[in-house]
Structure 1
Amino acid sequence: MGRRWFVWVTLGECTGFVAPAIVGAASSTWSLPATAAGLLVAGALEGTALGWAQAHVLARDLVTLPRARFVAATAVAAVLAYAIGLVPVALGERLTTLPPALLICGGVVGGGVLLGSIGTAQWLVLRRVRPRCAWWIAATGGAWVGGLLMFVAIATPLWEPGQPVALSIAVGVLGGFVMAATVAALSGAAAVRLVDRPRRSGPGSS
């Protein structure tokens, strides 16, 4: 199961990230509202692709998993994550006028919500199928920490101001592939643990 998870999640997330890569590269001359709208739509597409890939693997063992709800929850969470990521962009230079304590507090809270968004949304669906799986939130968040760090490490040195849009998209897709593979690898053990747990025998879960 671990190998299937790695392959499908890598493909799903990498495919889904093509949309944000295109919007991110093409929106340099867009207005802020247009950029925000484009990235939120792209985030929904990314979340849908990721959720579908994960549900495809999980449903083989979790036969009662409501796939449509799982995919929808992942898509909504991805939109929320992109919305949080857009806050610093929207504030722009006004960030420099805010008290350092507020910036730190906002960064910690915003980062926590961003990293926990997908795992929390998926847990709300998974808990109906598997009991006591709230640990999925932390496992997913940790995987995304690794994935985002790898994306930054790969993409940042390759991005340059004024480079062709096609090259910027290629850089984004490359970074997205490495990010996807990292997330898939780091979350694989959690996925195996999830499907290996005994099925729920009664109502309610946590």
Structure 2
Amino acid sequence: MVKVVRLNWPRRRALSGSCDGTLKLWDLDAESSCIRSLHGHQDEVWSADVDWARSRALSGSADCTLRYWSLQSGDCMATLHGHTSGVSAVSLGKGGRAASSSWDRTLRLWDLEKQECLTILMHGSSVTTMSVDWEHGKALCGSPQAMKLWDFNRQTCEHSLAGHLCDSIEVSGSSTPVSVGHNECVTSLVMNSPDYLYPEADA
């Protein structure tokens, strides 16, 4: 079962992560053409992010690790340890930085070159999804009953958004209020600009 996909249409490339513990790089111009498989994770791949310009990928797995890949060679360039439960979301930033969230109730900031954890943020509950705005140093994380907005630079939680039943989430660009509610666990979030947040529906 495919758990995560990332698409770059101009390059006609896609990356997928699967329950079999592998990631696969695809050529979309050739039907069913797998360019290469990336092996290393010991359990399901739950999350992935890609820097297509640099041909780099970051993956998170149920095996509690992150792996940093070269898409050109298929080599694993770094394996990051620290989470004590599955890695639910990953994000590649600039300057060799990365972020991850986990069911172990933490967010972590990483230095990919040094292969070390820079910061651990205690979320308080299992983190099921995460969206990062690197330009502004913000991360929005979802858990079964709430969302939290984190400031990476200050290493503080700016807002805790407790769940109430509704069908929408909305962000205003002026004073940045957020209205949120879901009938089930929050499973994914998309930040398209500093002003707007687009949620994906509950399962």
Q: TM-score, normalization: structure 2?
A: 0.24
| Structure label with greater radius of gyration | 1
In terms of fraction of residues, the more strand-rich structure is 2
* Higher RCO by CA contacts (8 Å cutoff, separation 6 or greater): 1
